[in-house]
Amino acid sequence: RNSTFINYQAPIYGCSWCVAHRGGYEMEFWNVSMTNCEHIAHFKHGIGGILVDGDGTLGTGVAGGTVVPPTGQWRTNSDCTVDPTGRYTMCGGVVRRVNVAIDQWTSPWWDTNIKKHYPLLIATDITEEDMDAGWDKWNRAQDETRVSCLKDSGCGMYHYGTPIGAEACFEQAPKMRYSFLGQIGRRYLITWVDQNYIRTTADVQVSVTKMRSDEVMILQFTHRPPLYPRLPLRASVAQG
């Protein structure tokens, strides 16, 4: 609040102390200015923080706008713009961290990695999408891995793919859960894809950090794994 940043490449480094795929903490900015700064922020990974532009002076030009990591789910959102530097995305509305815990897997999956990084959660913004038979923006690309989740490769051009967050020597949220960033008022398709690019299903628990009672976000799941018949889906919603 009431601060000026002078002579920085990027004055803000989101979640610099977080382990991979964990974090997503908020930081608010009010009445800030920048002089001789190349860009607003840099993020360590795909959920490396949510910068809240309280009065529009951080750079979004919108009171309550947000600056977030430049991951793929924002590229199908007309309310968000990826900065030309590829270092961050600016959105005109509220962004929350969505946390997904696995109660149990309901179909087989494969992962031969020692640290068990798969299946990846794939989050795709489908609010404005025409999901015809040829729509495939949720598909995990051949070069898509858990290693990198910024700029144009690593975690999906039009979605966000992520493993469960790594364990840490000191606890960081969310513990043993998948997480991704989503904008309030949007609809997201959530799928899991294993090491062999096969879709996987699970029973899950979902929480959204700091979400208010007047905010809405729609999450759409599939419970039809390959080689299996359709399964009934039951969802319970609790507020508290």
User: With the C-alpha atoms ordered 130, 46, 152, 148, is the resulting torsion angle positive or negative?
Assistant: negative
Nearest Cα neighbor of 45 from 67, 24, 65, 29 is 24
Contact 35, 6 (CB under 8 A): yes
Distance, CA of 5 to CA of 37 (rounded, Å): 8
Nearest Cα neighbor of 68 from 47, 37, 39 is 47
Contact 5, 41 (CB under 8 A): no
Q: pLDDT digit of tens for each residue in the chain (240 aa)? A: 888 999 888 888 888 777 777 878 899 999 999 889 888 998 888 888 999 999 999 989 999 999 999 999 999 999 999 888 888 999 999 999 999 999 999 888 888 876 778 899 999 999 999 888 788 888 887 767 654 455 555 578 899 988 887 666 655 666 678 999 999 999 999 999 988 888 888 889 999 999 999 999 999 987 765 555 555 555 666 665
